[in-house]
Amino acid sequence: MGTPLLELRGINKSFGPVQVLRDVAFTVQPGEVTALVGDNGAGKSTLVKCIGGIYPIDSGEYLIEGRPVHVHSPRDAAQLGVEIVYQDLALCDNLDIVQNMFLGRERRSGMILDEPTMEQLASETLASLSVRTVKSVRQQVSSLSGGQRQTVAIAKAVLWNSKLVILDEPTAALGVAQTAQVLELVRRLADNGLAVVLISHNMNDVFAVSDRIAALYLGQMAAQVKTTDVTHAQVVELITSGRSGALGLAEKGVAA
Amino acid sequence: MSAVTKEPAVAVARPSAGDDGILGYLRGYGRKVRGGDMGALPAVAGLLVLCIVFGLARPVFLTAPNFANLLTQAGPVVVIAMGLVFVLLLGEIDLSAGYTSGVCAAVLAIMLTNNGFPWYVGIAASLATGLVIGLLLGFLVAKVGIPSFVVTLAAFLGFQGVVLWLLDEGTNISVRDSVIIALENEFLPPLVGWGLAAVTVLGFAAVQLIQRRNRHKRGLKADLWQVVAFRVIGLAVLVGFAVAILNQERSRNPLFSLKGVPIIVPLVGVLLLLWTFVLRRTAYGRHVYAVGGNKEAARRAGINVDGIRISAFVICSAMASIGGVLLASQARSVDPNTGGSNVLLYAVAAAVIGGTSLFGGKGRVLDAVLGGLVITMIINGMGLVGWSSAYKYIATGVVLLLAASVDAFSRRRAAASS
């Protein structure tokens, strides 16, 4: 296997007296979907926010493509090609798809917004993701369904030549058909060579699209395994008790 | 994962074959209106209804002199409403815009009449006053975090006092500078009026055609040429008709000619063009809409949300100061009531009637112009019909409520159709 796109080693993060992340190691390979699972409060969100530069890490190594980097702000993360799609999507309902995708990073020619270029790039990006569900890229986001919004949010993340896209529970609020659509899109991102991290509570989703599963348990990385090597029940056990047979944390809390 | 990849993407109602021609365009427009995005429709309908009602009640309403009157009367309200659009786009409100214009008018009058400065110094001073007021309001709202309703309500009271203080407890300062007076009281020579009309129509046509060509070159879906032609011809007819009426002789006295387009019209036109350009064609304008639509999304996109909010109040107050100059020109004097009484209510009503949402995120500068004309027609028409002040106040209040209901209704409609 080549160099992982993202490698975290020995990450620690505390908020005051509470240690949320304990010596976490996490690797993400390009072209793969890595599912990040864990119970509520296991530290998934904190880990993602550390990767995205919203929280600074207390100690540990952060490597992108094998190079150690320092990420202090979302802007740093974006420059390294790391994009996060949050659960609440952060789209402006009153703007259209193109306007949302380029929000804050508008293309200009001189002082004037370069609408044709933006529209073209947005269409190309959506086409490259084989998105056929939106009628027009000039549609207002308020007129889109939940799945379409998720699609736009993901396309927005992909637009910036990102290398790593982190999706925070992208299917949590979606119906069956739309969930399938979004998962298909997630798979396609990885097939296009991106590294994808999928946070999910839904084991079906995880097993449907992921190549690897990383399970967090009370702030520690219980295990990071290939999806094909584990069963549904084992993953649930990793999430709820941190260990499953030979996998996971040893009795005393040291990583196996 | 095969279970996923096999699932075909569920396509949303593909555009039917008829969506390409003119019929398709009309159908799309109908969908938009039914979806709650009525654009200028209520305001235009209002203008037509008012013309018919008041025209029948008092035929003098539809004459050239009254038309010219209407336009000059609408000037200050429209200009103040243009500034308010920016604040309303963010979902904020500026209740002090009326008295801000009063303070700026007082500054103008003091500079011109009491101190004898030339007109441009007076305008610069009142504009500077507006900028300072806007910065102060914006700072209190964005940085200190006081709701704009409270900040500007306090300013509404405070500025009333400031005007009194500037005018030494209520003296009336007359404004005699010919340039300032001309803004609301003079007219363009008929030929200049026609020239401006031609420039406007040709400029609009050029912009439309260039945009269309640019989109075609990229292979993007462009507006139908029929639609573009309709827009250009529509504007040409409208502008031509207005200029033709305004260029008629309006004076009853044969020794004294009164005709031409009021100077305020091109002035408002330039402001309309400027702010429309800023809102629709610059990144700044895009960010104003974004902050109004979803503040959190704007913040995450790296937009300086506080900066945008402060700037909107600065623009609003600066436009209010121009409105103040126009009020001074209209009355040829400044007194403690300048910018007071109904000015603010009319300006807010103008923006809302035009289609700017009180909930933020939706609105255009053109709304201020259309809505301002509606409001002015109501005031003017009721005056001609001879209604008492009591009825005028009640009617204006009802119209504002009606406009706000249309706004709330279209918002619900839009939420339901998504």
Separation of CA B381 from chain center: 20
Contact: A91, B297; criterion CB under 8 Å: yes
Query: Which structure tokens are listed for B219?
Result: 């292979």
Say which of B10, B14, B415 has its CB closest to residue A181: B10
3-state SS, B75-128, equals HHHHHHHHHHHHHHHCCCCCCCHHHHHHHHHHHHHHHHHHCCCCHHHHHHHHHH
Beta bridge partners of B247: none
Q: Which residues of A touch B413 (CB under 8 A)?
A: none
**CA atoms lying within 13 Å on the CB side of residue A204:** 7
- Does residue A221 contact residue A13 with C-beta atoms inside 8 Å? no
| Per-residue confidence band for B8, with pLDDT thresholds at 50, 70 and 90 | very low
- Does residue B86 contact residue B324 with C-beta atoms inside 8 Å? no
B288 and chain A: CB distance < 8 Å anywhere? no
Query: Which structure tokens are listed for B335?
Result: 């007194």
Phi, psi (degrees; rounded to nearest 5) at B412: -65, -40
Q: Can you give the pLDDT at residue A256?
A: 42
Distance from CA of A21 to the nearest CA of B (A): 24
Contact: A92, B303; criterion CB under 8 Å: no
| pTM as predicted | 0.86
CA distance B356 to B292: 12
CA distance A157 to A182: 14
Q: Which residues contact A79 (CB under 8 A, 6 or more apart)?
A: none
Q: Can you give the pLDDT at residue B146?
A: 95
Q: Can you give the pLDDT at residue A150?
A: 85
Question: Of B84, B130, B82, B134, whose CA–CA distance to B103 is shortest?
Answer: B130
Q: Can you give the pLDDT at residue B416?
A: 64
Contact: B294, A187; criterion CB under 8 Å: no
What distance, in Å, lies between the first and last C-alpha atoms of chain A? Answer: 21
Question: Of A189, A166, A182, A208, whose CA–CA distance to A36 is shortest?
Answer: A166
Question: Of B272, B319, B391, B386, whose CA–CA distance to B77 is shortest?
Answer: B319
Contact: B9, A131; criterion CB under 8 Å: yes
Helix (H, G, I), strand (E, B) or coil at A105: coil
Q: Can you give the pLDDT at residue B165?
A: 92
B6 and chain A: CB distance < 8 Å anywhere? no
CA distance B70 to B376: 7
| Per-residue confidence band for A155, with pLDDT thresholds at 50, 70 and 90 | confident
Does residue B38 carry a pLDDT above 80?
Answer: no
CA distance B101 to B75: 13
Query: B300-325: per-residue pLDDT in tens?
Result: 888 899 999 999 999 999 999 999 99
Distance from CA of A253 to the nearest CA of B (A): 33
B390 and chain A: CB distance < 8 Å anywhere? no
Enumerate the H helices of chain A as residue ranges: 44-51, 74-79, 97-101, 115-128, 146-158, 176-191, 203-209, 232-241
B91 and chain A: CB distance < 8 Å anywhere? no
Query: B143-155: per-residue pLDDT in tens?
Result: 999 999 999 999 9
Helix (H, G, I), strand (E, B) or coil at A141: helix
Q: Which residues contact B207 (CB under 8 A, 6 or more apart)?
A: none
Say which of B15, B302, B415 has its CB closest to residue A104: B302
Distance from CA of B45 to the nearest CA of A (A): 24
Angle between helices B97-109 and B64-89 (to 10 degrees): 120
A90-94 mean pLDDT: 88
CA distance A244 to A206: 18
- Does residue A200 contact residue A169 with C-beta atoms inside 8 Å? yes
- Does residue B356 contact residue B368 with C-beta atoms inside 8 Å? yes
Q: What is the DSSP code (8-state) at residue B256? A: S
Say which of B4, B283, B362 has its CB closest to residue A209: B4
- Strands A33-38 and A195-199, by their bridges, are parallel
Say which of A108, A134, A143 has its CB closest to residue B418: A143
Query: Which structure tokens are listed for B81?
Result: 């409403």
Say which of B217, B296, B362 has its CB closest to residue A94: B362
Q: Can you give the pLDDT at residue A251?
A: 59
B218 → chain A, closest CA residue: A116
Contact: B289, A94; criterion CB under 8 Å: yes
Query: B62-117: per-residue pLDDT in tens?
Result: 888 899 999 999 999 999 999 999 999 999 999 999 999 999 999 999 999 889 89
Interface pTM, i.e. ipTM: 0.83
Distance from CA of B400 to the nearest CA of A (A): 23
Please report, to the nearest 10 degrees, the dihedral formed by the alpha carbons of residues B97, B103, B104, B106 taken in order.
150
What distance, in Å, lies between the first and last C-alpha atoms of chain B? Answer: 31
Does residue A227 carry a pLDDT above 70?
Answer: yes
- Does residue A189 contact residue A129 with C-beta atoms inside 8 Å? yes
Q: Can you give the pLDDT at residue A179?
A: 86
Contact: A187, B5; criterion CB under 8 Å: yes
B363 and chain A: CB distance < 8 Å anywhere? no
| Per-residue confidence band for B299, with pLDDT thresholds at 50, 70 and 90 | confident
Rg (CA), chain A: 19
Question: Of A96, A108, A136, whose CA–CA distance to B281 is shortest?
Answer: A108
Phi, psi (degrees; rounded to nearest 5) at B359: -90, 0
Q: Can you give the pLDDT at residue A2?
A: 76
Does residue A171 carry a pLDDT above 80?
Answer: yes
CA distance A244 to A242: 7
Averaged pLDDT score across all residues of chain B: 88
